[in-house]
Amino acid sequence: MSRRHDTISFLTDYGTSDEFVGVVKAVIRDIAPHAAVIDLTHDIAPFDVRAGSLALARCISYVPEGIVLAVVDPGVGTDRRAIAVEVAGGAGILIGPDNGLLAPAVAMAGGAERAVEITNPEYRLIAPGATFDGRDVFGPAAAHLCNGVALTDLGPEVDPSLLMPATIPLPRNEGDDVIAEVLWVDRFGNCQLNIGPDDLPASWSDTVRLRLPDPVQPGATVIRSARRADRFAGIGHGIGVMLDSYGMYAVALDRRSAADDLHLAAGDQVVLADGGDDDDREGPVTTPVQFGR
Amino acid sequence: MSRRHDTISFLTDYGTSDEFVGVVKAVIRDIAPHAAVIDLTHDIAPFDVRAGSLALARCISYVPEGIVLAVVDPGVGTDRRAIAVEVAGGAGILIGPDNGLLAPAVAMAGGAERAVEITNPEYRLIAPGATFDGRDVFGPAAAHLCNGVALTDLGPEVDPSLLMPATIPLPRNEGDDVIAEVLWVDRFGNCQLNIGPDDLPASWSDTVRLRLPDPVQPGATVIRSARRADRFAGIGHGIGVMLDSYGMYAVALDRRSAADDLHLAAGDQVVLADGGDDDDREGPVTTPVQFGR
Amino acid sequence: MSRRHDTISFLTDYGTSDEFVGVVKAVIRDIAPHAAVIDLTHDIAPFDVRAGSLALARCISYVPEGIVLAVVDPGVGTDRRAIAVEVAGGAGILIGPDNGLLAPAVAMAGGAERAVEITNPEYRLIAPGATFDGRDVFGPAAAHLCNGVALTDLGPEVDPSLLMPATIPLPRNEGDDVIAEVLWVDRFGNCQLNIGPDDLPASWSDTVRLRLPDPVQPGATVIRSARRADRFAGIGHGIGVMLDSYGMYAVALDRRSAADDLHLAAGDQVVLADGGDDDDREGPVTTPVQFGR
C-alpha cells in the first residue's frame, strides 16, 4: 500500500445544473469516506481543454497535498487514455484524460515523476451504457488512491514524456512590440495575458500602448493607452496593465470590467508597446484604426 | 436510538444565487457536525418536481448509505405532507415533500419499507415568518436522523402505498413506431429519452428514423436519420441514438449539442422507427414535413 | 492559544465560474485540515457590498459557532482595512474587508466585542503580483483562527465603534403611507422589503394598497391591491404581502415570480397603504398612473 491521501481537488467542465459533479462526489464518498473534496471549479466551458488546463495551472500551487482530479474530456469514448501522474515525490497525483489538460499543472508541480494508464477493472465502476468516465473511472481511481491503493495498481506505467502536451500560446516579440494573447477573462472582467514580469522590457516607461481587436470592424485594431499599476486602485479612470494575483500581466480597469469595456475575450491578441510619454491620464482614448496586423 | 448516519445527499431547486442551500447546510452542521453533505444539484428549475424526481432517480444508485434530502416544493405552505421514507433495510432514508419528488428514487431503491410524516415539533426550527421548510423542517430532520434519532420519532407512520406517486411518461408502441419523450437535456445537449435497452425491437437495424418536432412550424414534424452507437465517438458526423451512462437511450451528437442542433427540449416527443437501409452517413438530412402526429 | 474552531461559513461575490472560491478553500484546507467550510453563497453581484451584507445578515442566526468569512470588496488594493470582529463571547468571529459588509451581521449577533486589523505577515500568503485578499489574507486568517491562533495575534486591536457602518435603508412613514424598499429578490421572484412585523399599523385591514414603479413609464407609479397572507398558499391568484421566512414582509405571488410580474428589482421603492375594503380577489388590477411620488 502507498500513502493514504485525504484531499481530492476537483475541476471539470460538468457545470452544476446537472447532477454530474454530485454523482462523482457521491461515488468518492462511498469508496473513501475520509476524503474531502475541494471543488476548484466546474464551470470550464464544455470541452474547452485549454481553459481547463489554464485554470488548473493557476490552482496547482495552492491545492493541498493529495489528489487532483480534472475532467474536461471531448474525447470520452475514444481511445484517448485515462492517466494518473505522480509529482513532487508522491505528495501529489493528478488524474484525468491524457489530452493535455493536466500538462501545465504537472509542469508547474515540478514535472511528472511516474505515470500510469488507468485500466485496472478492479478500480472502475461498470456503467449501464456509455461510460461516464468521471463517475466510473476517474472518480473511483482518485478515491482508491486516497485509500492507499498504489499508483501502479491502477494500470501499466507509461512514459511521462509520451503524455499529450498542452498547447499554451507563448508571447513573441516583433520589433519593439510584444505580441500577447488573452488567456482568461475572469468574473470581474480582468483579462489575463500570457506574459509575466520578465516579458516586458525593463526600459519601458509606465505607460503602455495596447493594440486591441476593433470591436466594430473585424480584422481591424484600435490603439489604447494604458498605465502600468501594481494594484487596481493605482489604475485610476483609465486602463491598467498590472501583474495580477497569479503573477501574470492583465488588462484591467478599477471596479469595472475590462472585457466589457474593451470587448476582449479569451484568445484575443493584445499587442503591447512602450507608451513613452503618452498621457493616459485623460482616460481611454481611441486612435486611428489600422487594418490587419 | 436507531443507527447513526454520516452522509446527507442533497438536491433542490433552490439555485445557488441566494443563500438558501448554504443556510440549510449551516443548520445541518449545527445539529449534526459529523455529517457530510453531498450536493447532488441545486439547479432543478424552480418548482419542476418532475425534473427533480428524474435527477434524483439518476443519482440514487450512486449515493452512499445515509440520508437523501430533496426539496422541490411548489406546495410549501399548503397541507402537502413532509415525509421521510425508509428503504433498503434502513440503509437509506429519503426526506422531502410528499409530492412525487421522491417516488422514482424510492422505487429504484427497492421501494418504501416504512414512511413517516414529519410533524414532531422537537425536531423542527421555529420560523420568524412563513416556513422555509428546507431550513426549518427537512434539513433538521435529516440532521437528527444522522444523530441517531429514530425514524418514527419524527412523526406518525403513514402507509407508503398512500404516498403521492410520480408522473413519469412511459413510452408506447404505435404500429412499428416507438413513441418516446425527452426526459432530460444535459449541459452538453444530450437528450435522454424514456426508453431503455428493451424498448427497441431486436430486429431493428443500426439505423433509426427519428420523427422530431419541426423547429419552424409548430405542430409539424421532421424526419431525421440516426445511427445507433455505443459511445459518442461512434456517432460520426450525424445523429446518434446511444445508450447513455444511465442505461437509457439518448439522442446525441459527437462533441456538439443535439438539443441545440435539433431544437429539442425536455418533454418533446421523439418517435423512433427502424431505419432499415437508410443511409445516415451523409450526416443529418431532412425529409418532407408532416403535419400532426 | 484561543479556542479552536471547526467551521468557516463563507460568502463572497467571487462567483463559481472561476476557481477563486476553490483556491481559497484549498488554502484553508492546507492550513486547517480539520475545518469544514460551509458555502453560504458566492453569487453576490460583483462589488455589491449592500447585497452581500444583507445576505450575510439573513444567514447569521443560522451559521454554526466558528468563523464567518465574507468577501465583497470593491476596495481591494486600497487602504481599506482587513478586519476580524469577535461576537457572542468569542463564539463567533467575522472576517472580511472593513467596508460595511460585516456590519449588519455583527449587529444581529449582538454587536462587536473586539476587533482587530489583520496585518500580521506571519498569517498571510505572499502573492506573486497584486494581492488576492481572499486567498492571501482573509482565508489564511480564518484558517489560523480555526487552529487556535488568538484574535489579537492577527494584528492590532481597533475600536469597534470606528468600523465602517452599513447603509441599510430604513422604512419611513409619510402620512398614512409606509415608504419601503425592495431589499432582495430571491430566485423565486419574492421581493423582500425593509419592513418587519412592527412596521405596519395594527389597524390596517388584510388588504394592502401597493404603489409600485410603473414598468412602462419611468418615474411614474402604478397602484396594485395585495392581500396579507401568512403563507404562499394563502395568497390566491393575486398579490400577497407576507412575512417571509426571515420575518420580513415580502411582496410575493403563489408559485410565480412577483419580481417578473410586477417588474420589481432590489432598490425599488414600494409604498404601502391600508387597502380598507379594496377587493383583491379579482387578482391584480392596475389603477390610474400617477406621476412622481
DSSP chain C: ------EEEEEES--SSSSHHHHHHHHHHHH-TT-EEEEEES-SPTT-HHHHHHHHHHHTTTSPSEEEEEE--TTTTSSPPEEEEEEGGGTEEEEEESSSSSHHHHHHTT--SEEEE---GGGSPPPSSS--HIIIIIHHHHHHHHTT--GGGSS-B--GGGSPPP-PPPPEEETTEEEEEEEEE-TT--EEES--GGGS-TT--SEEEEEEE-SSSTTEEEEEEEEEESSGGGTTTSEEEEE-TTSSEEEE-SSS-HHHHHT--TT-EEEEEE-TT---TT----EEEEE--
Residues of A in contact with C34 (CB under 8 A): none
Distance separating the N- and C-terminal Cα atoms of chain A: 57
pLDDT digits (tens, 9 = 90+) for C102-128: 999 999 999 999 999 999 999 999 998
Model pLDDT, residue B276:
85
Is residue A144 domain-shared with residue A206, that is, in the same domain? no
Q: With an 8 Å Cβ cutoff, are B77 and C233 in contact? A: yes
Report how far residue A197's alpha carbon sits from residue A262's, in angstroms, rounded to the nearest whole number.
23
Is the pLDDT assigned to residue A70 strictly greater than 90?
Answer: yes
pLDDT digits (tens, 9 = 90+) for A156-191: 999 999 999 998 889 999 999 999 999 999 999 999
- A283 in any annotated domain: yes
Is residue A113 domain-shared with residue A198, that is, in the same domain? no
- A2 in any annotated domain: no
Query: How would residue A279 be classed by pLDDT, with cut points 50, 70 and 90?
Result: low
Is residue B209 domain-shared with residue B253, that is, in the same domain? yes
- Of the listed ranges A278-287, B141-150, B241-250, the least confidently predicted one is A278-287
pLDDT digits (tens, 9 = 90+) for B90-121: 999 999 999 999 999 999 999 999 999 999 99
**What mean pLDDT value characterizes chain C?**
92
User: Higher-confidence residue: C13 or B202?
Assistant: C13
Distance from CA of B129 to the nearest CA of A (A): 30
Residues of C in contact with B20 (CB under 8 A): 186-187
Cell numbers representing residue C263 in the block: 417588474
Is residue B150 domain-shared with residue B181, that is, in the same domain? no
- What are the Cα distances from residue B56, in Å, to A157, B66, B69, C8, C48? 38, 15, 10, 29, 35
DSSP one-letter code for A120 = -
User: Higher-confidence residue: C277 or B181?
Assistant: B181
Is residue B134 domain-shared with residue B251, that is, in the same domain? no
Is residue B107 domain-shared with residue B28, that is, in the same domain? yes
Q: With an 8 Å Cβ cutoff, are B42 and A135 in contact? A: no
- C205 in any annotated domain: yes
pLDDT digits (tens, 9 = 90+) for B155-178: 999 999 999 999 888 999 999 999
Is residue B252 domain-shared with residue B176, that is, in the same domain? yes
As a whole-number percent, the residues of chain A with pLDDT over 70 amount to 94
From the candidates B16, B231, B245, B260, which should be mutated to test the interface with A, based on the most A CB atoms within 10 A?
B245
**What mean pLDDT value characterizes chain A?**
92
The CATH number of the domain where C33 resides is what?
Answer: 3.40.50.10790
Is the pLDDT assigned to residue A260 strictly greater than 50?
Answer: yes
DSSP one-letter code for B35 = -
Model pLDDT, residue A118:
98
- B167 in any annotated domain: no
Is residue C149 domain-shared with residue C219, that is, in the same domain? no
Model pLDDT, residue A276:
85
Report how far residue A160's alpha carbon sits from residue A86's, in angstroms, rounded to the nearest whole number.
10
Backbone angles phi, psi at B172, to 5 degrees: -140, 160
Distance from CA of B219 to the nearest CA of A (A): 29
Distance from CA of B91 to the nearest CA of C (A): 25
C233 at B interface, C-beta within 8 A: yes
Model pLDDT, residue C78:
83
Query: How would residue B131 be classed by pLDDT, with cut points 50, 70 and 90?
Result: confident
User: Higher-confidence residue: B255 or A284?
Assistant: B255
pLDDT digits (tens, 9 = 90+) for C132-171: 999 999 999 999 999 999 999 999 999 999 999 998 889 9
The chains in contact with chain C, meaning 3 or more Cβ pairs closer than 8 Å, are: A, B
**pTM to 2 decimal places:** 0.93
Partner-chain residue, chosen from C23, C29, C47, that has the shortest CB–CB distance to A7: C29
Model pLDDT, residue B1:
56
Average pLDDT in the B43-54 region?
97
Question: Alpha helices, DSSP H only, in chain A?
Answer: 20-31, 49-59, 103-108, 133, 139-146, 258-262
As a whole-number percent, the residues of chain B with pLDDT over 70 amount to 94
Q: With an 8 Å Cβ cutoff, are A58 and C19 in contact? A: yes
Query: How would residue B287 be classed by pLDDT, with cut points 50, 70 and 90?
Result: very low
Cell numbers representing residue C99 in the block: 467596508
Is the pLDDT assigned to residue C97 strictly greater than 90?
Answer: yes
Is residue C193 domain-shared with residue C261, that is, in the same domain? yes
B267 at C interface, C-beta within 8 A: no
Is the pLDDT assigned to residue B285 strictly greater than 70?
Answer: no
Model pLDDT, residue C26:
98
C55 at B interface, C-beta within 8 A: yes
Q: With an 8 Å Cβ cutoff, are B187 and A132 in contact? A: no
Is the pLDDT assigned to residue C293 strictly greater than 70?
Answer: no
Query: How would residue B279 be classed by pLDDT, with cut points 50, 70 and 90?
Result: low
**What mean pLDDT value characterizes chain B?**
92
In chain C, how many domains are there? 2
Q: Among A122, A139, A162, give the residue marking a domain's end.
A: A162
The CATH number of the domain where C210 resides is what?
Answer: 2.40.30.90
- Among residues B22, B26, B56, the alpha carbon closest in space to that of B41 is found at B56
Is residue B188 domain-shared with residue B241, that is, in the same domain? yes
Model pLDDT, residue A51:
97
- A71 in any annotated domain: yes
Query: How would residue A231 be classed by pLDDT, with cut points 50, 70 and 90?
Result: confident
User: Looking up cell 473586539, which residue turns up?
Assistant: C114
What number of helices (H) and strands (E) belong to chain B? 6, 15
Is residue A140 domain-shared with residue A15, that is, in the same domain? yes
Range of the domain at B186: 172-288
Report how far residue B116's alpha carbon sits from residue B83's, in angstroms, rounded to the nearest whole number.
6
Q: Among B106, B132, B162, give the residue marking a domain's end.
A: B162
- B1 in any annotated domain: no
Residues of B in contact with C7 (CB under 8 A): 29, 33
Q: With an 8 Å Cβ cutoff, are C42 and B74 in contact? A: no
Query: How would residue B230 be classed by pLDDT, with cut points 50, 70 and 90?
Result: confident
From the candidates B8, B18, B37, B125, which should be mutated to test the interface with C, based on the most C CB atoms within 10 A?
B18
> Nearest residue of C to residue B127 by CA position?
C245
Model pLDDT, residue A273:
96
Q: With an 8 Å Cβ cutoff, are B43 and A135 in contact? A: no
Model pLDDT, residue C1:
56
- Of the listed ranges A24-28, A104-108, B218-222, the least confidently predicted one is B218-222
Partner-chain residue, chosen from A38, A232, A234, that has the shortest CB–CB distance to C25: A38
Is the pLDDT assigned to residue B288 strictly greater than 70?
Answer: no
- A232 in any annotated domain: yes
pLDDT digits (tens, 9 = 90+) for A20-37: 999 999 999 999 999 999
Question: Alpha helices, DSSP H only, in B111-243?
Answer: 133, 139-146
Residues of A in contact with B11 (CB under 8 A): 19, 22
Q: Among C132, C162, C192, give the residue marking a domain's end.
A: C162
Model pLDDT, residue B233:
83
Model pLDDT, residue C53:
97
Q: With an 8 Å Cβ cutoff, are B245 and A14 in contact? A: no
Query: How would residue A9 be classed by pLDDT, with cut points 50, 70 and 90?
Result: very high
A10 at B interface, C-beta within 8 A: no
For A280, counting Cβ atoms within 10 Å of its Cβ (0-12 exposed, 13-18 middle, 19+ buried), the class is buried
Query: How would residue C52 be classed by pLDDT, with cut points 50, 70 and 90?
Result: very high
- C266 in any annotated domain: yes
B36 at A interface, C-beta within 8 A: yes
Average pLDDT in the A218-247 region?
92
CB interface of C with B, residues 186-225, below 8 Å:
186-188
Report how far residue B148's alpha carbon sits from residue B152's, in angstroms, rounded to the nearest whole number.
11
Is residue A83 domain-shared with residue A198, that is, in the same domain? no
B117 at A interface, C-beta within 8 A: no
Model pLDDT, residue A75:
86
pLDDT digits (tens, 9 = 90+) for A186-202: 999 999 999 999 999 98
Model pLDDT, residue A1:
57
> Nearest residue of A to residue B236 by CA position?
A78
